[in-house]
Chains A and B, each alone.
Chain A
Amino acid sequence: MTQTQSISFAGGFYDAPVAASHAFRAAMTAMARPGDIKVIEGAQPPKGLSVAAGSLLLTLCDPETAIFLASDVDSPELRGWLTFHTGAPFAPAEKADFAIGGWEALTPLDQFKIGTAEYPDRSATLVVEMPELSNAGPILSGPGIKETARLSLPSLTEFQGNAQLFPLGLDFFFTSGSQVAALPRSTSVMAED
Protein backbone atom coordinates (compact mmCIF):
# COMPACT_ATOMS: atom_id res chain seq x y z
CA MET A 1 0.00 0.00 0.00
CA THR A 2 2.73 2.43 0.95
CA GLN A 3 4.58 1.40 -2.17
CA THR A 4 1.55 2.02 -4.39
CA GLN A 5 1.23 5.51 -3.03
CA SER A 6 4.86 6.41 -3.52
CA ILE A 7 4.56 5.24 -7.13
CA SER A 8 1.43 7.33 -7.62
CA PHE A 9 3.04 10.55 -6.46
CA ALA A 10 6.05 10.15 -8.71
CA GLY A 11 6.18 10.37 -12.46
CA GLY A 12 4.27 13.57 -13.08
CA PHE A 13 5.41 16.41 -15.32
CA TYR A 14 8.47 18.29 -14.14
CA ASP A 15 7.58 21.98 -14.64
CA ALA A 16 4.04 21.06 -15.69
CA PRO A 17 3.14 24.15 -17.77
CA VAL A 18 6.20 23.80 -20.00
CA ALA A 19 6.11 19.99 -20.21
CA ALA A 20 2.41 20.10 -21.09
CA SER A 21 3.02 22.74 -23.77
CA HIS A 22 5.57 20.47 -25.45
CA ALA A 23 3.36 17.41 -25.12
CA PHE A 24 0.37 19.27 -26.51
CA ARG A 25 2.36 20.50 -29.51
CA ALA A 26 3.23 16.90 -30.31
CA ALA A 27 -0.38 15.77 -29.86
CA MET A 28 -1.78 18.65 -31.90
CA THR A 29 0.69 18.15 -34.72
CA ALA A 30 -0.13 14.45 -34.79
CA MET A 31 -3.89 15.13 -34.93
CA ALA A 32 -3.44 17.83 -37.58
CA ARG A 33 -1.23 15.57 -39.72
CA PRO A 34 -2.64 12.03 -39.55
CA GLY A 35 0.13 9.48 -39.95
CA ASP A 36 2.95 11.73 -38.70
CA ILE A 37 4.80 10.10 -35.82
CA LYS A 38 5.91 12.52 -33.10
CA VAL A 39 7.83 12.22 -29.86
CA ILE A 40 5.78 12.97 -26.75
CA GLU A 41 7.28 12.63 -23.28
CA GLY A 42 7.57 14.15 -19.85
CA ALA A 43 5.48 11.74 -17.80
CA GLN A 44 6.73 8.56 -16.12
CA PRO A 45 3.57 6.47 -15.70
CA PRO A 46 3.51 3.21 -13.75
CA LYS A 47 4.58 0.02 -15.49
CA GLY A 48 2.06 -1.09 -18.09
CA LEU A 49 1.50 2.32 -19.68
CA SER A 50 3.78 3.97 -22.23
CA VAL A 51 5.47 7.31 -21.64
CA ALA A 52 3.52 8.61 -24.64
CA ALA A 53 0.10 7.56 -23.33
CA GLY A 54 0.94 8.85 -19.86
CA SER A 55 2.10 12.20 -21.24
CA LEU A 56 -1.05 12.52 -23.37
CA LEU A 57 -3.30 11.87 -20.38
CA LEU A 58 -1.50 14.34 -18.12
CA THR A 59 -1.77 16.95 -20.89
CA LEU A 60 -5.46 16.51 -21.67
CA CYS A 61 -7.25 15.01 -18.66
CA ASP A 62 -8.55 16.61 -15.48
CA PRO A 63 -11.67 16.48 -13.28
CA GLU A 64 -13.78 17.47 -16.32
CA THR A 65 -12.89 14.37 -18.36
CA ALA A 66 -13.98 10.82 -17.69
CA ILE A 67 -11.39 8.12 -18.35
CA PHE A 68 -12.05 4.50 -19.30
CA LEU A 69 -9.22 2.06 -18.61
CA ALA A 70 -9.42 -1.06 -20.75
CA SER A 71 -8.91 -4.34 -18.89
CA ASP A 72 -5.35 -4.82 -20.19
CA VAL A 73 -4.03 -1.59 -18.67
CA ASP A 74 -6.31 -1.20 -15.66
CA SER A 75 -4.44 -1.52 -12.37
CA PRO A 76 -4.59 0.02 -8.91
CA GLU A 77 -1.20 1.63 -9.61
CA LEU A 78 -2.41 3.32 -12.81
CA ARG A 79 -5.65 4.44 -11.18
CA GLY A 80 -3.72 5.90 -8.29
CA TRP A 81 -1.28 7.65 -10.59
CA LEU A 82 -4.00 9.17 -12.80
CA THR A 83 -6.09 10.24 -9.83
CA PHE A 84 -3.15 11.94 -8.19
CA HIS A 85 -1.89 13.72 -11.31
CA THR A 86 -5.14 14.53 -13.15
CA GLY A 87 -8.07 14.19 -10.75
CA ALA A 88 -10.01 12.66 -13.62
CA PRO A 89 -12.93 10.37 -12.72
CA PHE A 90 -13.06 6.81 -14.09
CA ALA A 91 -16.08 5.76 -16.12
CA PRO A 92 -17.42 2.86 -18.15
CA ALA A 93 -16.67 2.87 -21.88
CA GLU A 94 -19.97 4.45 -22.94
CA LYS A 95 -19.41 7.51 -20.76
CA ALA A 96 -15.69 8.00 -21.38
CA ASP A 97 -14.14 11.10 -22.91
CA PHE A 98 -10.79 9.31 -23.08
CA ALA A 99 -10.24 5.57 -23.30
CA ILE A 100 -6.89 3.86 -22.92
CA GLY A 101 -5.76 0.36 -23.72
CA GLY A 102 -4.48 -2.06 -26.30
CA TRP A 103 -6.51 -2.50 -29.49
CA GLU A 104 -8.08 -5.83 -28.59
CA ALA A 105 -9.11 -4.63 -25.17
CA LEU A 106 -10.69 -1.42 -26.53
CA THR A 107 -12.86 -3.10 -29.14
CA PRO A 108 -15.72 -3.18 -29.98
CA LEU A 109 -15.66 0.51 -30.85
CA ASP A 110 -19.41 0.95 -30.80
CA GLN A 111 -19.38 1.10 -27.02
CA PHE A 112 -17.88 4.63 -27.14
CA LYS A 113 -19.51 8.07 -27.59
CA ILE A 114 -19.43 9.33 -31.16
CA GLY A 115 -20.94 12.79 -30.49
CA THR A 116 -24.30 14.12 -31.61
CA ALA A 117 -25.36 15.73 -34.88
CA GLU A 118 -25.29 19.17 -33.26
CA TYR A 119 -22.25 18.52 -31.07
CA PRO A 120 -19.96 16.10 -32.89
CA ASP A 121 -17.14 17.18 -30.55
CA ARG A 122 -18.82 15.33 -27.66
CA SER A 123 -17.16 12.12 -28.69
CA ALA A 124 -14.52 9.89 -27.15
CA THR A 125 -10.82 10.05 -27.90
CA LEU A 126 -9.15 6.65 -27.81
CA VAL A 127 -5.53 6.23 -26.84
CA VAL A 128 -4.44 2.92 -28.34
CA GLU A 129 -1.26 1.39 -26.97
CA MET A 130 0.74 -0.27 -29.74
CA PRO A 131 3.79 -2.58 -29.78
CA GLU A 132 5.32 -0.22 -32.36
CA LEU A 133 4.45 2.57 -34.76
CA SER A 134 5.69 2.91 -38.32
CA ASN A 135 4.78 4.61 -41.58
CA ALA A 136 3.80 1.36 -43.25
CA GLY A 137 0.49 -0.36 -43.90
CA PRO A 138 -2.89 1.19 -44.66
CA ILE A 139 -3.02 4.31 -46.84
CA LEU A 140 -4.47 7.47 -45.31
CA SER A 141 -5.90 10.49 -47.09
CA GLY A 142 -7.96 13.51 -46.12
CA PRO A 143 -7.52 16.73 -44.13
CA GLY A 144 -3.96 17.21 -42.88
CA ILE A 145 -2.45 14.95 -45.53
CA LYS A 146 -0.89 16.42 -48.65
CA GLU A 147 -1.45 13.38 -50.85
CA THR A 148 -1.34 10.16 -48.91
CA ALA A 149 0.29 8.88 -45.74
CA ARG A 150 0.76 5.46 -44.22
CA LEU A 151 0.39 4.29 -40.68
CA SER A 152 0.68 0.86 -39.07
CA LEU A 153 -2.95 0.76 -37.90
CA PRO A 154 -4.11 -2.23 -35.84
CA SER A 155 -7.13 -2.75 -38.13
CA LEU A 156 -8.69 -1.56 -41.35
CA THR A 157 -12.44 -2.09 -41.31
CA GLU A 158 -13.05 -0.47 -37.91
CA PHE A 159 -11.37 2.74 -39.03
CA GLN A 160 -13.19 2.72 -42.35
CA GLY A 161 -16.46 2.31 -40.47
CA ASN A 162 -15.56 5.15 -38.13
CA ALA A 163 -14.76 7.48 -41.05
CA GLN A 164 -18.20 6.65 -42.49
CA LEU A 165 -19.78 8.25 -39.43
CA PHE A 166 -18.20 11.66 -40.18
CA PRO A 167 -18.82 14.30 -38.87
CA LEU A 168 -19.58 12.02 -35.92
CA GLY A 169 -17.10 9.40 -34.81
CA LEU A 170 -14.11 8.63 -32.65
CA ASP A 171 -10.64 10.14 -32.80
CA PHE A 172 -7.57 8.04 -32.12
CA PHE A 173 -4.11 8.48 -30.75
CA PHE A 174 -1.69 5.59 -31.13
CA THR A 175 1.11 5.39 -28.62
CA SER A 176 4.25 3.32 -28.35
CA GLY A 177 7.20 4.10 -26.10
CA SER A 178 7.54 7.85 -26.38
CA GLN A 179 5.95 8.05 -29.84
CA VAL A 180 2.49 9.24 -30.80
CA ALA A 181 0.49 9.30 -34.04
CA ALA A 182 -3.17 10.10 -34.61
CA LEU A 183 -6.13 9.25 -36.79
CA PRO A 184 -9.09 11.62 -36.64
CA ARG A 185 -12.50 10.57 -37.93
CA SER A 186 -11.94 12.76 -41.02
CA THR A 187 -9.26 10.45 -42.43
CA SER A 188 -10.09 7.97 -45.20
CA VAL A 189 -8.36 4.62 -44.78
CA MET A 190 -7.56 2.26 -47.65
CA ALA A 191 -5.87 -1.14 -47.71
CA GLU A 192 -2.33 -1.08 -49.02
CA ASP A 193 -2.09 -2.33 -52.56
Chain B
Amino acid sequence: MSNYNFAYLDEQTKRMIRRAILKGLAVPGYQVPFASREMPMPYGWGTGGVQVSAATLTPEDTLKVIDQGADDTTNAVSIRKFFERTAGVETTEETEQASVIQTRHRIPEAKLREDQILVYQVPIPEPLRFLEPRETETRKMHSLEEYGLMHVKLYEDISQHGAIATSYAYPVKVEDRYVMDPSPIPKFDNPKMEMAAIQLFGAGREQRIYAVPPYTKVVSLDFEDYPFEATKAEHACDLCGAEDSYLDEVIVDDAGNRMFVCSDTDYCRSRRGAGHVGRLAQEEVA
Protein backbone atom coordinates (compact mmCIF):
# COMPACT_ATOMS: atom_id res chain seq x y z
CA MET B 1 0.00 0.00 0.00
CA SER B 2 2.75 2.47 0.87
CA ASN B 3 4.08 2.12 -2.67
CA TYR B 4 1.01 3.96 -3.92
CA ASN B 5 0.02 7.56 -3.56
CA PHE B 6 -3.37 8.09 -1.87
CA ALA B 7 -6.00 6.76 -4.31
CA TYR B 8 -3.26 5.52 -6.65
CA LEU B 9 -2.96 8.52 -8.99
CA ASP B 10 -0.10 10.98 -8.55
CA GLU B 11 -1.04 14.48 -7.38
CA GLN B 12 -0.37 16.20 -10.70
CA THR B 13 -2.76 13.84 -12.50
CA LYS B 14 -5.39 14.40 -9.81
CA ARG B 15 -5.06 18.17 -10.16
CA MET B 16 -5.57 17.92 -13.91
CA ILE B 17 -8.66 15.74 -13.42
CA ARG B 18 -9.96 18.02 -10.65
CA ARG B 19 -9.65 21.08 -12.90
CA ALA B 20 -11.57 19.21 -15.61
CA ILE B 21 -14.31 18.26 -13.12
CA LEU B 22 -14.72 21.89 -12.05
CA LYS B 23 -15.02 23.10 -15.65
CA GLY B 24 -17.42 20.24 -16.34
CA LEU B 25 -19.64 21.37 -13.47
CA ALA B 26 -19.48 24.97 -14.69
CA VAL B 27 -20.62 23.96 -18.21
CA PRO B 28 -23.09 21.11 -17.57
CA GLY B 29 -23.11 18.44 -20.26
CA TYR B 30 -20.02 19.75 -22.08
CA GLN B 31 -17.24 17.17 -22.56
CA VAL B 32 -13.97 18.43 -21.08
CA PRO B 33 -10.85 16.81 -22.58
CA PHE B 34 -8.35 15.37 -20.11
CA ALA B 35 -5.13 13.37 -20.39
CA SER B 36 -6.25 9.93 -19.29
CA ARG B 37 -3.66 7.83 -17.46
CA GLU B 38 -2.87 4.16 -17.76
CA MET B 39 -4.61 2.37 -14.94
CA PRO B 40 -3.83 -1.09 -13.56
CA MET B 41 -6.93 -2.45 -15.26
CA PRO B 42 -7.99 -2.77 -18.90
CA TYR B 43 -10.16 -0.26 -20.75
CA GLY B 44 -13.74 -1.39 -20.55
CA TRP B 45 -13.22 -1.80 -16.82
CA GLY B 46 -14.17 1.76 -16.21
CA THR B 47 -10.78 3.44 -16.21
CA GLY B 48 -12.45 6.83 -16.77
CA GLY B 49 -14.77 6.35 -13.82
CA VAL B 50 -11.89 5.04 -11.70
CA GLN B 51 -9.80 8.14 -12.43
CA VAL B 52 -12.68 10.47 -11.60
CA SER B 53 -13.34 8.56 -8.37
CA ALA B 54 -9.64 8.63 -7.49
CA ALA B 55 -9.56 12.42 -7.88
CA THR B 56 -12.76 12.80 -5.87
CA LEU B 57 -12.42 10.40 -2.92
CA THR B 58 -11.36 11.50 0.55
CA PRO B 59 -10.24 8.99 3.19
CA GLU B 60 -13.55 9.51 5.06
CA ASP B 61 -15.70 8.43 2.09
CA THR B 62 -17.73 5.25 1.89
CA LEU B 63 -17.63 3.85 -1.63
CA LYS B 64 -20.16 1.70 -3.42
CA VAL B 65 -19.45 0.25 -6.87
CA ILE B 66 -22.14 -1.21 -9.09
CA ASP B 67 -22.03 -2.93 -12.42
CA GLN B 68 -25.42 -3.04 -14.18
CA GLY B 69 -27.02 -2.59 -10.76
CA ALA B 70 -25.11 -5.38 -9.03
CA ASP B 71 -22.40 -5.00 -6.38
CA ASP B 72 -20.99 -8.51 -6.73
CA THR B 73 -19.75 -8.74 -10.33
CA THR B 74 -16.01 -9.22 -10.91
CA ASN B 75 -15.71 -5.68 -12.24
CA ALA B 76 -17.46 -4.05 -9.26
CA VAL B 77 -15.60 -6.17 -6.71
CA SER B 78 -12.18 -5.41 -8.15
CA ILE B 79 -12.78 -1.65 -8.35
CA ARG B 80 -14.00 -1.71 -4.74
CA LYS B 81 -10.90 -3.65 -3.66
CA PHE B 82 -8.68 -1.27 -5.62
CA PHE B 83 -9.93 1.72 -3.62
CA GLU B 84 -9.97 -0.14 -0.31
CA ARG B 85 -6.30 -0.81 -0.85
CA THR B 86 -5.12 2.44 -2.43
CA ALA B 87 -7.37 4.99 -0.64
CA GLY B 88 -8.19 3.10 2.53
CA VAL B 89 -11.86 3.98 2.14
CA GLU B 90 -14.74 2.05 3.62
CA THR B 91 -16.91 0.27 1.09
CA THR B 92 -20.54 -0.72 1.17
CA GLU B 93 -23.19 -2.39 -0.94
CA GLU B 94 -25.92 -0.22 0.55
CA THR B 95 -26.84 2.82 -1.51
CA GLU B 96 -27.91 4.68 1.65
CA GLN B 97 -24.54 4.22 3.32
CA ALA B 98 -22.45 5.36 0.35
CA SER B 99 -21.03 8.87 -0.07
CA VAL B 100 -19.51 8.08 -3.48
CA ILE B 101 -21.07 5.58 -5.88
CA GLN B 102 -19.24 4.49 -9.02
CA THR B 103 -21.55 2.94 -11.55
CA ARG B 104 -21.53 1.16 -14.83
CA HIS B 105 -24.81 1.25 -16.75
CA ARG B 106 -27.36 1.96 -13.97
CA ILE B 107 -28.60 4.63 -11.61
CA PRO B 108 -29.61 3.23 -8.21
CA GLU B 109 -33.37 2.98 -7.58
CA ALA B 110 -33.12 4.65 -4.18
CA LYS B 111 -33.33 8.44 -4.43
CA LEU B 112 -29.84 9.88 -4.07
CA ARG B 113 -29.17 12.64 -1.56
CA GLU B 114 -27.38 15.99 -1.67
CA ASP B 115 -24.40 14.55 0.18
CA GLN B 116 -23.80 11.82 -2.39
CA ILE B 117 -21.72 11.76 -5.59
CA LEU B 118 -22.49 9.46 -8.51
CA VAL B 119 -19.56 8.64 -10.83
CA TYR B 120 -20.43 7.05 -14.17
CA GLN B 121 -18.11 4.86 -16.23
CA VAL B 122 -18.55 5.96 -19.82
CA PRO B 123 -17.45 3.94 -22.87
CA ILE B 124 -18.40 6.44 -25.61
CA PRO B 125 -18.98 9.99 -24.35
CA GLU B 126 -19.87 11.57 -27.69
CA PRO B 127 -23.60 11.28 -28.43
CA LEU B 128 -23.00 12.41 -32.02
CA ARG B 129 -20.23 9.88 -32.69
CA PHE B 130 -22.39 7.39 -34.63
CA LEU B 131 -23.60 10.24 -36.85
CA GLU B 132 -20.20 11.85 -37.33
CA PRO B 133 -16.95 10.01 -36.62
CA ARG B 134 -14.71 13.09 -36.78
CA GLU B 135 -14.01 14.75 -33.44
CA THR B 136 -13.37 18.14 -35.11
CA GLU B 137 -16.85 17.98 -36.64
CA THR B 138 -18.71 16.89 -33.50
CA ARG B 139 -17.03 19.69 -31.54
CA LYS B 140 -18.24 22.15 -34.16
CA MET B 141 -21.74 20.68 -34.02
CA HIS B 142 -21.85 21.10 -30.24
CA SER B 143 -20.53 24.64 -30.47
CA LEU B 144 -23.25 25.58 -32.99
CA GLU B 145 -25.96 23.53 -31.23
CA GLU B 146 -26.40 21.65 -34.47
CA TYR B 147 -28.42 18.77 -33.12
CA GLY B 148 -30.81 18.31 -36.04
CA LEU B 149 -29.14 15.07 -37.19
CA MET B 150 -29.73 13.57 -33.77
CA HIS B 151 -33.45 14.16 -34.12
CA VAL B 152 -33.41 12.76 -37.64
CA LYS B 153 -31.82 9.55 -36.34
CA LEU B 154 -34.43 9.19 -33.60
CA TYR B 155 -37.20 9.94 -36.09
CA GLU B 156 -35.91 7.27 -38.47
CA ASP B 157 -36.39 4.87 -35.58
CA ILE B 158 -40.00 5.88 -35.39
CA SER B 159 -40.65 5.44 -39.10
CA GLN B 160 -38.95 2.02 -39.07
CA HIS B 161 -40.15 0.61 -35.76
CA GLY B 162 -43.16 2.75 -34.93
CA ALA B 163 -41.37 3.93 -31.82
CA ILE B 164 -37.96 5.20 -30.78
CA ALA B 165 -35.98 1.96 -30.57
CA THR B 166 -33.02 3.42 -28.70
CA SER B 167 -33.34 1.97 -25.21
CA TYR B 168 -29.84 2.50 -23.78
CA ALA B 169 -27.60 5.56 -23.82
CA TYR B 170 -30.67 7.55 -24.81
CA PRO B 171 -29.47 11.11 -25.51
CA VAL B 172 -30.44 13.97 -23.22
CA LYS B 173 -30.24 17.74 -23.45
CA VAL B 174 -28.71 19.37 -20.41
CA GLU B 175 -29.97 22.74 -19.21
CA ASP B 176 -31.30 23.52 -22.71
CA ARG B 177 -27.81 23.59 -24.18
CA TYR B 178 -25.58 20.51 -24.63
CA VAL B 179 -26.76 17.15 -25.93
CA MET B 180 -25.11 14.54 -23.75
CA ASP B 181 -24.69 10.78 -23.66
CA PRO B 182 -25.90 9.56 -20.26
CA SER B 183 -23.68 6.44 -20.69
CA PRO B 184 -25.38 3.11 -21.47
CA ILE B 185 -27.97 3.33 -18.71
CA PRO B 186 -31.43 2.08 -19.70
CA LYS B 187 -33.67 4.96 -20.72
CA PHE B 188 -35.79 4.00 -17.70
CA ASP B 189 -33.09 5.73 -15.65
CA ASN B 190 -33.03 8.98 -17.65
CA PRO B 191 -35.64 10.84 -15.56
CA LYS B 192 -33.61 10.11 -12.40
CA MET B 193 -30.79 12.32 -13.70
CA GLU B 194 -32.55 15.39 -12.33
CA MET B 195 -31.32 14.51 -8.87
CA ALA B 196 -29.96 16.00 -5.65
CA ALA B 197 -26.53 14.35 -5.96
CA ILE B 198 -23.55 15.52 -8.02
CA GLN B 199 -23.11 13.45 -11.20
CA LEU B 200 -19.65 13.04 -12.75
CA PHE B 201 -18.86 11.14 -15.93
CA GLY B 202 -15.47 9.70 -16.90
CA ALA B 203 -14.49 8.18 -20.24
CA GLY B 204 -10.95 6.73 -20.04
CA ARG B 205 -10.22 5.61 -23.56
CA GLU B 206 -11.85 8.69 -25.11
CA GLN B 207 -10.36 11.00 -22.48
CA ARG B 208 -13.42 13.03 -21.58
CA ILE B 209 -14.93 14.19 -18.32
CA TYR B 210 -18.35 15.77 -18.00
CA ALA B 211 -20.73 16.59 -15.23
CA VAL B 212 -24.29 17.38 -14.21
CA PRO B 213 -24.68 19.48 -11.05
CA PRO B 214 -27.59 18.76 -8.68
CA TYR B 215 -31.08 19.84 -9.82
CA THR B 216 -29.89 20.52 -13.36
CA LYS B 217 -32.52 20.27 -16.09
CA VAL B 218 -31.97 17.03 -18.01
CA VAL B 219 -34.44 16.34 -20.81
CA SER B 220 -34.52 13.20 -22.95
CA LEU B 221 -34.81 14.13 -26.64
CA ASP B 222 -38.23 13.40 -28.10
CA PHE B 223 -40.99 14.62 -30.40
CA GLU B 224 -44.37 16.14 -29.69
CA ASP B 225 -46.18 13.23 -31.31
CA TYR B 226 -43.75 10.65 -29.85
CA PRO B 227 -43.01 11.74 -26.31
CA PHE B 228 -40.19 10.10 -24.38
CA GLU B 229 -41.19 7.09 -22.30
CA ALA B 230 -39.09 5.64 -19.48
CA THR B 231 -39.98 2.04 -20.25
CA LYS B 232 -39.26 -1.17 -18.38
CA ALA B 233 -40.50 -4.77 -18.53
CA GLU B 234 -44.22 -4.88 -17.70
CA HIS B 235 -43.79 -7.03 -14.64
CA ALA B 236 -43.22 -6.79 -10.94
CA CYS B 237 -40.00 -8.16 -9.45
CA ASP B 238 -40.46 -11.88 -8.81
CA LEU B 239 -38.39 -11.67 -5.63
CA CYS B 240 -39.48 -8.45 -3.92
CA GLY B 241 -42.65 -7.50 -5.78
CA ALA B 242 -41.37 -4.04 -6.72
CA GLU B 243 -43.34 -2.48 -9.58
CA ASP B 244 -41.22 0.65 -9.80
CA SER B 245 -37.76 -0.81 -10.41
CA TYR B 246 -35.82 -1.70 -13.56
CA LEU B 247 -35.91 -5.47 -14.12
CA ASP B 248 -33.54 -8.03 -15.57
CA GLU B 249 -35.02 -11.10 -17.23
CA VAL B 250 -33.23 -14.21 -15.99
CA ILE B 251 -33.52 -17.79 -17.25
CA VAL B 252 -33.86 -19.93 -14.15
CA ASP B 253 -33.78 -23.57 -15.35
CA ASP B 254 -33.06 -25.87 -18.30
CA ALA B 255 -36.70 -25.76 -19.31
CA GLY B 256 -36.22 -22.10 -20.16
CA ASN B 257 -38.40 -20.75 -17.39
CA ARG B 258 -37.81 -17.08 -16.75
CA MET B 259 -38.10 -14.69 -13.92
CA PHE B 260 -37.90 -10.93 -13.58
CA VAL B 261 -35.73 -9.50 -10.84
CA CYS B 262 -34.60 -6.02 -9.87
CA SER B 263 -31.35 -5.16 -11.62
CA ASP B 264 -30.48 -3.06 -8.52
CA THR B 265 -29.53 -5.86 -6.15
CA ASP B 266 -29.30 -3.62 -3.08
CA TYR B 267 -32.79 -2.23 -3.72
CA CYS B 268 -34.21 -5.76 -4.07
CA ARG B 269 -32.43 -7.00 -0.96
CA SER B 270 -33.54 -4.09 1.18
CA ARG B 271 -37.16 -4.51 0.04
CA ARG B 272 -37.09 -8.20 0.89
CA GLY B 273 -35.48 -7.33 4.20
CA ALA B 274 -38.44 -5.03 4.86
CA GLY B 275 -40.84 -7.93 4.26
CA HIS B 276 -41.87 -7.35 0.64
CA VAL B 277 -42.46 -10.62 -1.20
CA GLY B 278 -42.60 -11.23 -4.95
CA ARG B 279 -44.39 -13.92 -6.98
CA LEU B 280 -41.67 -16.60 -6.85
CA ALA B 281 -40.68 -15.86 -3.28
CA GLN B 282 -44.34 -16.46 -2.33
CA GLU B 283 -44.25 -19.91 -3.95
CA GLU B 284 -41.17 -20.71 -1.91
CA VAL B 285 -42.93 -19.63 1.24
CA ALA B 286 -45.99 -21.76 0.36
Are A32 and B18 interface neighbours, CB within 8 A? no
Kindly list chain B residues whose C-beta atoms are within 8 Å of the C-beta of A28: 18, 21-22, 25, 56, 198
Given contacts A167-B30, A167-B177, contact A125 B215 (CB under 8 A): no
Are B58 and A18 interface neighbours, CB within 8 A? yes
Kindly list chain B residues whose C-beta atoms are within 8 Å of the C-beta of A119: 33, 139
Given contacts A18-B6, A28-B18, A118-B139, contact A171 B23 (CB under 8 A): yes
A29 to B212, CA, bound (A): 12
Are B21 and A17 interface neighbours, CB within 8 A? no
A184 to B217, CA, bound (A): 16
Q: Which of B18, B33, B177, B217 is close to A60, meaning CB atoms less than 8 Å apart?
A: B18
A29 to B74, CA, bound (A): 31
Are B27 and A167 interface neighbours, CB within 8 A? yes
How many residue-residue contacts, CB under 8 A, span A and B? Answer: 116
Kindly list chain B residues whose C-beta atoms are within 8 Å of the C-beta of A18: 6, 58-59
- Judged by a CB distance under 8 angstroms, whether B175 is at the interface is yes
From 107 to 151 in chain A, residues with beta carbon under 8 angstroms from any chain B beta carbon are: 117-121, 123, 125, 142-146
Interface string of B183-199 (1 = CB under 8 A from A): 00000000000001010
From 4 to 41 in chain B, residues with beta carbon under 8 angstroms from any chain A beta carbon are: 5-7, 11-12, 14-16, 18-28, 30, 32-33
Are B16 and A64 interface neighbours, CB within 8 A? yes
Chain B minimum-CB-distance residue to A20: B11
Are A125 and B22 interface neighbours, CB within 8 A? yes
- Judged by a CB distance under 8 angstroms, whether B55 is at the interface is yes
B145 CB to closest chain A CB (Å) equals 10
Q: Is the interface of B mostly helix, strand, loop or mixed?
A: mixed
Kindly list chain B residues whose C-beta atoms are within 8 Å of the C-beta of A184: 25-27
A62 to B11, CA, bound (A): 10
Given contacts A118-B143, A121-B20, contact A17 B213 (CB under 8 A): no
- Judged by a CB distance under 8 angstroms, whether B207 is at the interface is no
Chain B minimum-CB-distance residue to A142: B175
Kindly list chain A residues whose C-beta atoms are within 8 Å of the C-beta of B139: 118-119
- Judged by a CB distance under 8 angstroms, whether B219 is at the interface is no
Are A146 and B58 interface neighbours, CB within 8 A? no
A189 CB to closest chain B CB (Å) equals 14
Are A185 and B26 interface neighbours, CB within 8 A? yes
From 157 to 207 in chain B, residues with beta carbon under 8 angstroms from any chain A beta carbon are: 175, 177-178, 196, 198
Kindly list chain B residues whose C-beta atoms are within 8 Å of the C-beta of A143: 25, 28, 175, 212-217
Interface string of A21-47 (1 = CB under 8 A from B): 110110111011100000000000000
- Judged by a CB distance under 8 angstroms, whether B57 is at the interface is yes
Are B22 and A59 interface neighbours, CB within 8 A? no
A143 to B193, CA, bound (A): 12
Instruction: Classify chain A: how many residues form its interface, as a range.
Output: 35 or more
Kindly list chain B residues whose C-beta atoms are within 8 Å of the C-beta of A21: 6-7, 57-59
Are B7 and A171 interface neighbours, CB within 8 A? no
- Judged by a CB distance under 8 angstroms, whether B134 is at the interface is no
Chain A minimum-CB-distance residue to B59: A18
- Judged by a CB distance under 8 angstroms, whether A10 is at the interface is no
Are B213 and A33 interface neighbours, CB within 8 A? yes
A102 to B6, CA, bound (A): 34
B143 CB to closest chain A CB (Å) equals 4
A17 to B18, CA, bound (A): 13
> Which chain B residues have a beta carbon within 8 Å of chain A's beta carbons?
5-7, 11-12, 14-16, 18-28, 30, 32-33, 55-59, 114, 139-140, 142-144, 175, 177-178, 196, 198, 211-217
Complex A-B: 19 CB contacts under 8 Å: A16-B11, A20-B15, A21-B59, A27-B18, A31-B213, A33-B114, A60-B18, A64-B15, A64-B16, A118-B139, A118-B142, A120-B27, A143-B28, A143-B213, A145-B215, A146-B196, A171-B26, A186-B27, A186-B175
Known: A32-B214, A120-B23, A144-B214. 11 other contacts (CB 8 A): A17-B11, A28-B21, A28-B198, A60-B18, A62-B12, A64-B15, A119-B139, A121-B32, A143-B216, A166-B177, A184-B27
